[in-house]
């Protein structure tokens, strides 16, 4: 008589997987929000002081208390958090004090600027890393392998900001090939900037940012390709008379593609970290720079909003990576 | 067709900090495979029989050391030139097919590797699969969706795409039920009857015996003897080595004389 158990229809595996992962993403966002809120509260910054800026000297204690009460700073921290969370769930992330605009709007604009930088760098770094890894793994221990490995280790060991500054010194200052800063020439209105000028300003930051992704991608792909080149199916291809390049392109690249995609999406967090540095060095008006500004000038709503947006982006990246693994591998298809 | 004379294979490995030593795996094996015959190489696991297949196809790992001579149709054997075209491998398990590629496509790729021009690859692949009773439905499947017997037949199709004169089948009955094992061996027998040389490497004497012309017994990397398949009858009086006799006497077909099999 187990009617309830029998009546419940089984969810398709992919849908159940998706639901599980979305629940996990929501929990992740909640904990990131709580942690970021706690950190902002613990920071030795008086939000009222930060809001007033230089005008702080002219404001008396009674007015300060009024401002604090207006913003709810007189209430205990958990109550403040719940109030912020409730508003955030309704889509209201608050007002950014340093940009004097709604946080959602600031993040939207800044994110678009960051995306023009991050998307090309992400794709370029991924493609370049995969190609290099494939070339290196096809013949383990050959000279391309050794050269590419050295290059990848070198890249992995170099700090991103140092590399960005090096690029700036060589290509912008010494050679004068590329502009040294910003997303557009200074003193121009957005409508006046040509596409050529935009691209010229994009080259160095994209180069600096994509170079960061090349190293790990090349090393991971190399390991996967080398493993596939030793596998039985590769031996069989050789036994059929296939040449090394054919085995690498037809078999090994196929087996390395999925882990590479997963790394590409899972690496979105690192990309974001790299973009904070690159945007700072190249004075790019993106989200990363806004995060640093918000931190230095105690713009708590903006900082929380950026933390949430970043966590959402990285979480979605990981979700996509897992979904790809689920969907692309035929061995995973049609199995519970 | 294929002649191995005093073939030895060892593996280099570091001994201590500076020196390297060679661990022998196969010692002075002399064999020949003739056109139109099935030669079975029988041995327990670790006897070095799979190394024979790898050596003939040039698939030994980089640290292998080879001594002795291999000749193919009267000339020194160059595996890299011959494999896929004159010498074909039937590998030992389904894991040798690429798990991410549909079976039919793998057969087409093999057709290209066997030297067929692009326009002929697909018809040749379809025809080869059809020879082993595999249709369009099977060729659309991924290897893990094939049964063991189907996968083995797909690999037979790959081996017979080109004009290979010599087939090397490594454990062709591994993991198959007796009925499918007999079918695969029957296919190999038919290929030999059509004039090819077939080298079957197996641990299963009783499965291979009905289709083999001659049987070579390998033990611990050394050849015990090569006997005609007809010598495996009665109590094995026609067999020269005690190991071969013991192997035979341990089979139900010999009428079981396990007491005499004890010396090994």
> Which range (A108-117, A176-185, A249-258, B132-141) has the least confidence?
A176-185
> Which range (A17-31, A181-195, B67-81) has the least confidence?
A181-195
Q: Is the pLDDT of residue A335 over 50?
A: no
Confidence at B255, pLDDT banded by 50, 70, 90: low
Question: For B41-97, what is each residue's pLDDT tens digit?
Answer: 998 887 788 888 899 999 888 888 888 889 999 888 888 888 888 999 999 888 899
Residue B10 belongs to a domain: no
- Averaged pLDDT score across all residues of chain A: 82
Confidence at B261, pLDDT banded by 50, 70, 90: very low
- pLDDT, residue A336, reads 35
* Token reading at A229: 């080149």
Domain that holds residue B248: 31-64+78-86+164-254
Identify the CATH number of the domain defined by range A101-185+195-335.
Answer: 1.10.3720.10
Confidence at B200, pLDDT banded by 50, 70, 90: very high
Confidence at A16, pLDDT banded by 50, 70, 90: confident
Among A139, A141, A236, A244, pick the best mutation site for testing chain B contact (most B Cβ within 10 A): A236
Task: Please check whether residues B174 and B245 belong to one and the same domain.
Answer: yes
Contact across the interface for A241 and B89, Cβ inside 8 Å: no
Task: Please check whether residues B154 and B198 belong to one and the same domain.
Answer: no
Task: Please check whether residues B121 and B55 belong to one and the same domain.
Answer: no
Task: Please check whether residues B181 and B159 belong to one and the same domain.
Answer: no
What is the distance between the terminal CA atoms of chain A, rounded to a whole angstrom?
26
Report domain extents, chain A: 101-185+195-335
The last residue of a domain, from among B117, B147, B163: B163
Specify whether the CB–CB gap between A237 and B113 falls below 8 A. yes
Strand partners, B70: B4
Can you give the C-alpha Rg of chain B in angstroms? 19
Confidence at B129, pLDDT banded by 50, 70, 90: very high
Closest residue in chain B to residue A258, using alpha carbons only: B100
Task: Please check whether residues B172 and B82 belong to one and the same domain.
Answer: yes
- pLDDT, residue A131, reads 94
Task: Please check whether residues B139 and B190 belong to one and the same domain.
Answer: no
CB of A89 less than 8 A from some CB of B: no
Distances (CA, A) of B158 to B133, B140, B177, B210: 13, 15, 22, 24
Distances (CA, A) of B142 to A193, A231, A333: 53, 17, 11
Task: Please check whether residues B181 and B214 belong to one and the same domain.
Answer: yes
A-chain residues near B201 (CB < 8 A): none
Task: Please check whether residues B195 and B233 belong to one and the same domain.
Answer: yes
Average pLDDT for B228-243: 83
Task: Please check whether residues B121 and B242 belong to one and the same domain.
Answer: no
CA distance B14 to B182: 44
Contact across the interface for A331 and B89, Cβ inside 8 Å: no
Q: Who contacts A188 (Cβ-Cβ below 8 Å, separation ≥6)?
A: none
Confidence at A266, pLDDT banded by 50, 70, 90: confident
Q: What is the number of structural domains in chain B?
A: 2
- How much is the ipTM here? 0.88
The CATH number assigned to the domain holding B172 equals 3.40.50.300
pTM of the model: 0.79
Task: Please check whether residues B46 and B118 belong to one and the same domain.
Answer: no
Instruction: Compute φ and ψ for B110, nearest 5 degrees.
Output: -60, -35
Task: Please check whether residues B230 and B181 belong to one and the same domain.
Answer: yes
B-chain residues near A251 (CB < 8 A): 98, 101
Residue B122 belongs to a domain: yes
* Token reading at A23: 């629940």
The last residue of a domain, from among B114, B132, B163: B163
Q: How far is B82 from chain A (nearest CA, A)?
A: 8
Length of chain B: 264
- Number of Cβ pairs < 8 A linking chain A and chain B: 65
**Nearest neighbour of A232 by CB, restricted to B83, B95, B101:** B95
**Nearest neighbour of A241 by CB, restricted to B96, B97, B113:** B113
Task: Please check whether residues B103 and B222 belong to one and the same domain.
Answer: no
Question: For B153-180, what is each residue's pLDDT tens digit?
Answer: 899 899 988 888 999 999 888 888 888 8
The last residue of a domain, from among B108, B131, B163: B163
Average pLDDT for A133-148: 91
Residue B15, burial from CB neighbour count under 10 angstroms (0-12, 13-18, 19+) = exposed
Q: How far is B152 from chain A (nearest CA, A)?
A: 13
């Amino acid at each position: 008589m187990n009617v309830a158990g029998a009546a419940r229809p089984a969810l398709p595996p992919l849908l159940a997987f998706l639901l599980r992962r979305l629940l996990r993403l929501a929990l992740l966002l909640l904990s990131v929000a709580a942690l970021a809120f706690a950190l902002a509260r613990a920071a030795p910054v008086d939000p009222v002081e930060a809001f007033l800026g230089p005008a702080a000297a002219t404001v008396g204690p009674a007015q300060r208390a009024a401002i604090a009460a207006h913003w709810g700073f007189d209430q205990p921290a958990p109550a403040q958090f719940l109030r912020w969370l409730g508003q955030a769930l309704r889509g209201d992330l608050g007002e950014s004090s340093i940009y004097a605009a709604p946080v959602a709007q600031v993040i939207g604009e800044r994110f678009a600027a960051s995306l023009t930088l991050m998307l090309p760098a992400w794709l370029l770094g991924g493609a370049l890393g995969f190609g290099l890894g494939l070339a290196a793994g096809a013949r383990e221990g050959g000279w391309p392998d050794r050269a590419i490995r050295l290059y990848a280790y070198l890249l992995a060991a170099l700090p991103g900001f140092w590399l960005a500054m090096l690029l700036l010194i060589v290509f912008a200052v010494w050679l004068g090939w590329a502009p040294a800063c910003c997303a557009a020439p200074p003193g121009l209105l957005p409508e006046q900037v040509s596409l050529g000028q935009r691209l010229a300003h994009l080259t160095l930051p994209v180069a600096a940012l994509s170079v960061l992704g090349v190293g790990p991608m090349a090393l991971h792909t190399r390991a996967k390709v080398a493993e596939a080149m030793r596998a039985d199916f590769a031996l069989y291809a050789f036994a059929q008379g296939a040449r090394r390049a054919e085995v690498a392109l037809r078999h090994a690249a196929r087996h390395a593609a999925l882990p590479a995609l997963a790394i590409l999406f899972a690496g979105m967090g690192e990309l974001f970290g790299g973009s904070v540095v690159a945007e700072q060095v190249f004075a790019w008006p993106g989200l990363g720079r806004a995060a640093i500004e918000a931190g230095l000038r105690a713009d708590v709503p903006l900082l929380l909003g950026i933390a949430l947006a970043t966590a959402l982006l990285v979480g979605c990246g990981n979700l996509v990576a897992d979904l790809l693994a689920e969907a692309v591998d035929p061995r995973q298809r049609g199995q519970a | 067709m294929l002649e191995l004379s005093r073939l030895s294979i060892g593996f280099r490995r570091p001994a201590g900090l500076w020196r390297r030593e060679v661990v022998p795996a196969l010692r002075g094996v002399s064999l020949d495979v003739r056109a139109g015959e099935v030669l079975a190489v029988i041995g327990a696991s670790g006897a070095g029989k799979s190394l024979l297949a790898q050596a003939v196809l040039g698939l030994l790992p980089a640290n292998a050391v080879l001594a002795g001579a291999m000749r193919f149709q009267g000339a020194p054997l160059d595996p890299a030139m011959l494999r896929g075209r004159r010498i074909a491998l039937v590998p030992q398990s389904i894991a040798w097919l690429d798990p991410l590629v549909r079976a039919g496509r793998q057969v087409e790729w093999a057709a290209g590797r066997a030297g067929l021009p692009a326009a002929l690859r697909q018809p040749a692949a379809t025809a080869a699969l059809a020879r082993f009773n595999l249709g369009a439905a099977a060729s659309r499947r991924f290897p893990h969706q094939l049964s063991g017997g189907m996968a083995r037949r797909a690999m037979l199709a790959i081996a017979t795409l080109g004009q290979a004169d010599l087939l090397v089948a490594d454990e062709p009955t591994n993991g198959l039920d007796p009925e499918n094992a007999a079918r695969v061996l029957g296919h190999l027998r038919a290929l030999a009857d059509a004039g090819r040389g077939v080298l079957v490497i197996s641990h299963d004497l009783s499965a291979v015996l009905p289709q083999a012309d001659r049987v070579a017994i390998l033990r611990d990397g050394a050849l015990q003897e090569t006997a005609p398949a007809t010598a495996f009858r009665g109590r094995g009086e026609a067999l020269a080595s005690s190991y071969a006799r013991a192997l035979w006497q341990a089979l139900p077909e010999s009428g079981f004389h396990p007491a005499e099999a004890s010396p090994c």
